Amino acid sequence: MDFGLSAGGISQLDHVLEAESLGYDFCWVGDSPMLFSNPWPTLAMLAQKTHRIRIGTGVAVAGVRSAPDAANAIATINQLAPGRVFFGIGTGNTAMRTLGRPPMRVKPFGEYLRLVRGLLHGEEVTYGDQATAIRFQWAGKGHYDISESIPIHVGGFGSRAQALAGEFGDGLITGIPRGGSVTQALANVKHGADRAGRTLDDFYTSALVNLMMLEPGEKLDSERVIKECGPSIMANVHYLVDAVRDVGIEVPGYILPIWDDYLKFHESREAKHRHQQLHQSHYSYIDDDEARFMTPELVKAFCIVGEPDDIIEQLLALEEEGLNAISFIPPGKKTAEIRYAFAKKVIARMRG
């Protein structure tokens, strides 16, 4: 299994350099204009500062820039770090919600993927309402590099988006448990691949997971557990608030014990800024007003949790199911400490 980290800001470059030295395999750079740094200068600096680790977007948001612009951006990064760049792309939840807009719908997302894939493969594609023929015209002149393959990893939590990964992508980025089981996700991917007449040779499946490594005898309601895994868990709760309201997905069983109380809390916020407050703490800290929702049951439902032996057992089971890679986002103040401990107590042991 491969192991990655996520970076949301240009101030986090040192974390990525340290992770590279610890044996981490890849870095996802986030894309959320109202929360994170712009991903492209962050990736450009990482391309120049790192040597081995794979770098790419995790995930770029289709709704905030055109497909030709996104293809050009990742191909430009590939000019700086040829052969170790990937393009993670999704419809965007938090990034779009903080702009007061919904994520891109599945049909236009499929069209977006068609364009990006064609351009990165050096093909001429039809673009826009006028079906204009476009292609990279100066390939090979040092402005960007499409000669070295740039894998497209499609972000997908629902069945239709996961099918698009099989139809257009080289990999899937999903989440556990939000994206369903690995088995379910790969069945959806295969449906898309069959639709396009593609095979899934070398298809790469990765997941953003919530990770909580316990100290000996530590309980799931300890202050440390709440502070360290609360940001990741609540980011998933925030996603579900939008998805249930706007897409009409069924409320998952694992969230039902807190669901009604959380909605009452959320609706008590000022309407004008409610969309901002919902995502304000995104993967960075646990809001004091939300800590009360962090029950042991919720931690079990959302996390790969336990002492190192327990975590290794859970990861091996996911690997057996078809998962190739995981990434997790520790809270800001504990990032270096948690990443170091995970590398020494889990990654090193899994690799013998």
Residue 290 placed within a domain: no
CATH number of the domain residue 68 falls in: 3.20.20.30
Q: What is the pLDDT of residues 130-177, one digit of tens each?
A: 999 999 999 999 999 999 999 999 999 999 999 999 999 999 999 988
Residue 249 placed within a domain: no
Nearest to 286 by CA among 236, 329, 228: 228
Residue 346 placed within a domain: yes
Angle between helices 106-120 and 159-168 (to 10 degrees): 20
Domain that holds residue 119: 2-212+305-350
Residue 219 placed within a domain: no
Burial call 140-153: b when 16+ CB within 10 Å, e when fewer = eeeebbbeeebbbb
Residue 269 placed within a domain: no
Q: What is the pLDDT of residues 216-267, one digit of tens each?
A: 999 999 999 999 889 989 998 999 999 999 888 899 998 999 999 999 999 9
Predicted model pTM: 0.90
How far is residue 152's CA from residue 166's CA, in Å, rounded to a whole number? 11
Total structural domains within the chain = 1
The answer to whether 343 touches 328, Cβ cutoff 8 Å, is no
Nearest to 46 by CA among 74, 97, 81: 81
Residue 7 placed within a domain: yes
Nearest to 281 by CA among 337, 212, 221, 230: 230
Residue 300 placed within a domain: no
Residue 276 placed within a domain: no
pLDDT at 247: 85
